[in-house]
Chain A
Amino acid sequence: MSKMNKLFFVDCSKAAECCNKAQYKEANPLEKFKLKFHLLFCSTCRKLASTNTRLTETLKKSKIEPCPEAQKKKWKDSIKKEYAEDNA
Chain B
Amino acid sequence: MPSKKLNPNKWVDRYSDYLYNYTIVRVNDREVANDLISETFLAALKSAKYFKGEATERTWLISILKRKIIDYYRKINSRKGKAEVKIDYSDDENNGEWLEEQVPDQFDRTAEDEMENHELGLAILECLDSINEKHAAIFKRKTIDGADTEAICNEFNITPSNLWVIIHRARTALAACLEKNWF
Q: How many residues of A contact B (CB 8 A)?
A: 34
Mask, B16-38, CB within 8 Å of A = 1, is: 11001100100000000010011
Say yes or no: is B149 at the interface (Cβ < 8 Å to chain A).
Answer: yes
**Residue contacts A-B, CB under 8 angstroms, 30 given:** A17-B164, A20-B167, A21-B164, A24-B149, A51-B175, A55-B174, A55-B175, A58-B120, A59-B124, A61-B120, A62-B117, A62-B120, A62-B124, A64-B121, A65-B21, A66-B140, A66-B144, A67-B16, A69-B145, A71-B16, A71-B20, A72-B13, A74-B38, A75-B12, A78-B38, A79-B11, A79-B45, A80-B9, A82-B42, A87-B3
Mask, A42-57, CB within 8 Å of B = 1, is: 0000001001101100
Q: Cβ of A67 and Cβ of B171 under 8 Å apart? A: no
Q: Kindly list chain B residues whose C-beta atoms are within 8 Å of the C-beta of A54.
A: 175, 183
Q: Kindly list chain B residues whose C-beta atoms are within 8 Å of the C-beta of A23.
A: 171
Q: Kindly list chain A residues whose C-beta atoms are within 8 Å of the C-beta of B143.
A: 24, 59
Q: Cβ of A83 and Cβ of B45 under 8 Å apart? A: yes
| A82 and B9 in contact, given A17-B168, A62-B120, A66-B145 (Cβ under 8 angstroms) | no
Quick one: which of A10-57 are within 8 Å of B by CB?
16-17, 20-21, 23-24, 26, 48, 51-52, 54-55
Q: Cβ of B16 and Cβ of A58 under 8 Å apart? A: no
A76, chain B: closest CB distance, angstroms: 5
A residues at B contact (CB < 8 Å): 16-17, 20-21, 23-24, 26, 48, 51-52, 54-55, 58-59, 61-67, 69, 71-72, 74-76, 78-80, 82-83, 86-87
Quick one: which of B65-102 are within 8 Å of A by CB?
none
A11, chain B: closest CB distance, angstroms: 14
Interface centre among A55, A64, A74 (most CB of B within 10 A): A64
- Secondary structure call for the B interface: helix
Say yes or no: is B62 at the interface (Cβ < 8 Å to chain A).
Answer: no
| A52 and B175 in contact, given A75-B16, A76-B12, A83-B8 (Cβ under 8 angstroms) | yes
Q: Cβ of B17 and Cβ of A67 under 8 Å apart? A: yes
CB nearest neighbor in A for B37? A75
